[in-house]
Amino acid sequence: MKFSSSFGALSASALLLATSVNAAIELDINDRESIKKAAAIAAAGMRKWYTGDRPGDVPGNLPDPYYWWECGAMFNAFVDYWYYTGDDQYNAITMQALQHQIGDYNAFMPQNQSKTLGNDDQAFWGMAAMSAAENKMEDLPTDQGPSWLALAQATFNTQAPRWNTENCGGGLKWQIFSFNNGFNYRNTISNGCFFNLASRLYKYTGNQTYADWAVKAWNWERAIGLMSEDFHFFDGTDDRQNCSSLNRIQWSYNAGVHMAGAAAMWNATQSEEWKTKLTGIIKGTDVFFKDNVMFEVACEQKGTCNVDQRSFKAYLSRWMGYSMLVAPWTRDLLLTRMQTSAQAAAKQCNAGDNGTTCGLRWTNNGVNDGSFGVGEQMAALEVMQNLLLDEVPGPVTEQAGGISKSDPSAGSEAQSEPVEFDTITTGDKAGAGFLTTVVLIMILAGAWWMVS
Ligand SMILES: *[C@@H]1O[C@H](CO)[C@@H](O)[C@H](O)[C@H]1NC(C)=O
Ligand SMILES: *[C@@H]1O[C@H](CO)[C@@H](O)[C@H](O)[C@H]1NC(C)=O
Ligand SMILES: *[C@@H]1O[C@H](CO)[C@@H](O)[C@H](O)[C@H]1NC(C)=O
Ligand SMILES: *[C@@H]1O[C@H](CO)[C@@H](O)[C@H](O)[C@H]1NC(C)=O
Ligand SMILES: *[C@@H]1O[C@H](CO)[C@@H](O)[C@H](O)[C@H]1NC(C)=O
């Protein structure tokens, strides 16, 4: 994942113009067939961006400008699409992609992605595998790869030993490899993904070790201030300054990733403590809604969301849906927002040849803003398909319905092996130096984006 930046915000796709105006995706939020139809159209629109299954292309990769992590995030959307709608037409490309990107330690660490492989990037693939296990997607045949659950466990088992107490009293660094730009950054999404995965593994397996790590990650984020007392989540902090100052920009996916983790913790413990925390996180997401319609507050209105950021609403939607499934009392707080946002999203999915292509902005009463891509399409899909929550029983556990095979020690061999990847060229180093400067400037300028 790349550092939050307003540079490069205008991609080629943003320059395309919305052609058709009168069509849109029709959506009746009270009719499940209508929701399924709408989701199917949005899913087809997302699928069109994927080329990895073509001969000569690589399964699990999206073409430029998309980074590797977003492809994992996209396949998580397809896993959930199948779960919510029963439409399995994308399952084959989903399994093919997940299998192809397993990489080292059976933990979603393909060597040729090492330059873009941060803890968050890895975790988005790990969370896709976790969703496959929770949704009872058939495991890969045993001679073709580990189970979905084992892949999620391996992701967790490779990340837990990276917990870094050299500075800041703990936490995960953003990057795994020191040659990558951003190695000194401790970002909220990396720690949030780890919290999310640990919480869901705890709910799924009941293994206390995962719960202990979830609590540890939560407490650390709170202590450093990545999470504020009133449950706002800031982007990250620099460990060369012992995490003493914060980049306070707020992204919807940071709130979402913690929301789902807290919901899983509540489900597994049913404690007042997690209920209070989950309620607080939900309240904190007020900042991402305008008249109950979701928007990416830090960049959307200014038109500066980069390619990564244009997908973030997909994850807040996904994790709101997950929260309502595992902590049903949150429906009172979340459902109206999901419905209103879905309606608004569908209304502006009116561009392109078929008049069903979605833009980024849902808040402009059906006017498509002409920003097209995987992220825009995925966000619209997620906010619609999560309305189908009454159609599904919710994530299974090992004791209640689970079929994915557990392997608690998956990925643990990573601890004893030094990492050796392709050597960096001078060009890469120069690039990294430049980017480090950019990162620093942006941390200093952090207050400029501050959202409270
Ligand atoms: C990268 O590595 C994977 C295996 O981990 C391989 O399947 C793929 O073809 C390689 N190449 C690219 C460009 O991803
Ligand atoms: C660095 O931060 C940690 C966590 O806040 C704190 O416990 C530690 O004392 C700090 N170290 C220094 C040298 O300031
Ligand atoms: C916990 O989550 C499951 C779905 O994963 C759901 O069926 C169950 O009702 C939830 N438990 C409580 C107490 O709400
Ligand atoms: C338009 O819809 C048709 C039929 O559903 C489909 O085959 C085609 O790919 C779509 N084209 C675009 C540009 O959406
Ligand atoms: C619980 O999870 C930890 C961490 O992955 C693992 O080392 C341990 O063996 C697991 N315990 C059981 C009983 O599965």
**Residue 255 within a domain:** yes
Report the amino acid identity of residue 438.
Answer: V
In the chain, how many domains are there? 1
**Residue 5 within a domain:** no
Q: Give the pair of three-digit tokens for residue 415.
A: 């601890």
Residues with beta carbon inside 6 Å of ligand 1?
A: 58, 61, 100, 103, 110, 112
**Residue 3 within a domain:** no
The predicted-structure confidence for 68-114, as pLDDT tens digits, reads as follows 999 999 999 999 999 999 999 999 999 999 999 999 999 999 999 99
Nearest CA to ligand 3 atom 6: 326
| Ligand 1 atom closest to the CA of 102, numbered from 1 | 5
Q: Is 241 a pocket residue for ligand 3 (Cβ < 6 Å)?
A: no
Question: Tell me, what's the pLDDT at 23?
Answer: 86
Give the domain extent around 335.
12-451
Q: What is the CATH number of the domain that holds 233?
A: 1.50.10.20
Residues 52, 64 contacting (CB under 8 angstroms): no
d(CA 58, CA 49): 14
**Residue 4 within a domain:** no
Question: Tell me, what's the pLDDT at 446?
Answer: 41
Cα(374) to ligand 1 centroid in Å equals 21
Q: Is 20 a pocket residue for ligand 4 (Cβ < 6 Å)?
A: no
**Residue 388 within a domain:** yes
Ligand with minimal distance to 274 CA: 3
Tell me the sheet residues that pair with 318: none
Ligand with minimal distance to 415 CA: 5
Mutate to test the pocket of ligand 1, among 53, 71, 112 (most ligand atoms within 8 A of CB): 112
Flag residues of the chain having pLDDT under 70. 2-22, 416-452
Q: Is 242 a pocket residue for ligand 2 (Cβ < 6 Å)?
A: yes
Beta-carbon contacts of residue 57 (< 8 Å; ≥ 6 apart): 51
Question: Tell me, what's the pLDDT at 3?
Answer: 59
The residue among 182, 191, 183, 203 whose CA lies nearest residue 160 is: 191
Nearest CA to ligand 1 atom 9: 58
Sign of CA dihedral 259, 264, 268, 270: positive
Q: Is 395 a pocket residue for ligand 3 (Cβ < 6 Å)?
A: yes
d(CA 395, CA 222): 28
d(CA 65, CA 5): 14
**Residue 2 within a domain:** no
Tell me the sheet residues that pair with 290: 293
The predicted-structure confidence for 171-195, as pLDDT tens digits, reads as follows 999 999 999 999 999 999 999 999 9
**Residue 7 within a domain:** no
**Residue 225 within a domain:** yes
Please write down the HEC assignment for all residues of the chain.
CCCCCCCCCCCHHHHCCCCCCCCCCCCCCCCHHHHHHHHHHHHHHHHCCCCCCCCCCCCCCCCCCCCHHHHHHHHHHHHHHHHHHCCCCCHHHHHHHHHHCCEHHHCCECHHHHHHCEHHHHHHHHHHHHHHHHCCCCCCCCCCCCCHHHHHHHHHHHHHHHCCCCCCCCCCCCECCCCCCCCCEEEHHHHHHHHHHHHHHHHHHCCHHHHHHHHHHHHHHHHHCCECCCCCECCEEEHHHCCCCEECCCCHHHHHHHHHHHHHHHHHHCCHHHHHHHHHHHHHHHHHEECCEECCCCCCCCCCCCCCHHHHHHHHHHHHHHHHHHCHHHHHHHHHHHHHHHHHHHHHCCECCCCCECCCCCCCCCCCCCCCCHHHHHHHHHHHHHHHHHHCCCCCECCCECCCCCCCCCCHHHHHCCCCCCCCCHHHHHHHHHHHHHHHHHHHHHHHHCCC
Q: Give the pair of three-digit tokens for residue 228.
A: 């504020």
| Ligand 4 atom closest to the CA of 45, numbered from 1 | 14
The residue among 97, 188, 196 whose CA lies nearest residue 152 is: 196
Distance separating the N- and C-terminal Cα atoms of the chain: 24
| Ligand 5 atom closest to the CA of 412, numbered from 1 | 5
Ligand with minimal distance to 164 CA: 2
Mutate to test the pocket of ligand 1, among 58, 62, 105 (most ligand atoms within 8 A of CB): 58
The residue among 236, 243, 220 whose CA lies nearest residue 171 is: 220
Nearest CA to ligand 2 atom 5: 168
Cα(60) to ligand 1 centroid in Å equals 9
- Cα distances (angstroms) measured from residue 113 to each of 100, 108, 110, 186, 299: 12, 10, 6, 20, 28
| Ligand 3 atom closest to the CA of 400, numbered from 1 | 5
Question: Tell me, what's the pLDDT at 414?
Answer: 86
